[in-house]
Structure 1
């Protein structure tokens, strides 16, 4: 019964905000494509410098010098909470939703550049490395980014409609803000899980892939 309730609630939420979801997802995909394109615009010297640092990092991973998993967990958790929290705050600022879109686009650029650079420099090995080290946690992080961007944009639009188009628009701030706040709190559980994957699982997968590539 509870599972059916949550499924119904999620379905209703997606249906209600489907236009915003469509726009946000297209924007994020555009960011990924743009990030991948940037890789090809780098000069040979820039690629060599970046690959040098990347090789140095891979060497540290292979030697088990990536730091304590607990420290990586804290770093990943607080970084993503700050990022999503910034989008959440911008949603309250009424006119902040263009910045929300820019932040999400830039996050897509980072993902696209990371994958694109690995593939550009390492070919199929780079694709495999990106698949096992970037995909697992991002299967959770990316939906969180999109969800926060959607509810922040929707909340900002509701506030603007309430202020500038008062007639014929019902908006009760306290219950709406309470739902908005609880939605952000709920995402922290997903961020914690994703950060745990990034801290405890991704380094081990990366180490095994690097070892197999080096053979």
Structure 2
């Protein structure tokens, strides 16, 4: 039976788009909690590398304390992303941990920080539409102050993240809350940076906010 399982795994990984070192096994361990910090016991998850729609490289179920352990062949990459996704009967939204490096594994094991998850029916989307009304102004930063669910987290610091010009205009929020939209606009006429705060609320429906600047 063991030989059959290993042969099936070999066939699966042979067809994968990501190369693996089949002689080396990695272990990833993490504690899973809900948004209120309660342990998620007996919840099944699949593990993907680099994309949620990529092949499943491991499956596991959390124990009574919310601890989950996954064993899988070592990806033949220097840096990669783990995506934890629900199994066929699960109710929790995915979480991706990016910028993981091979040197983060100690004796082939990586213990992640506590992973906070939310259910599909607990979250709703916020979309920011940028509407430039003054050609001399530029939005520099957008953030949401409130109960925000981050689907993507970085295990290692991302270099020059503060200097990135990519604006986040899509957010996943917990339903039924008041929150603050904070954004900064640089005015090339006055050469000043304006910081603005807008108090908003969201309920059970997706929200689109038009940001005029």
* TMscore range, shorter length: under 0.3
The structure whose RCO (Cα within 8 Å, separation 6+) is larger is: 1
Normalised by the length of structure 2, the TM-score is: 0.23
User: Higher strand share goes to which structure?
Assistant: 2
User: Higher helix share goes to which structure?
Assistant: 1
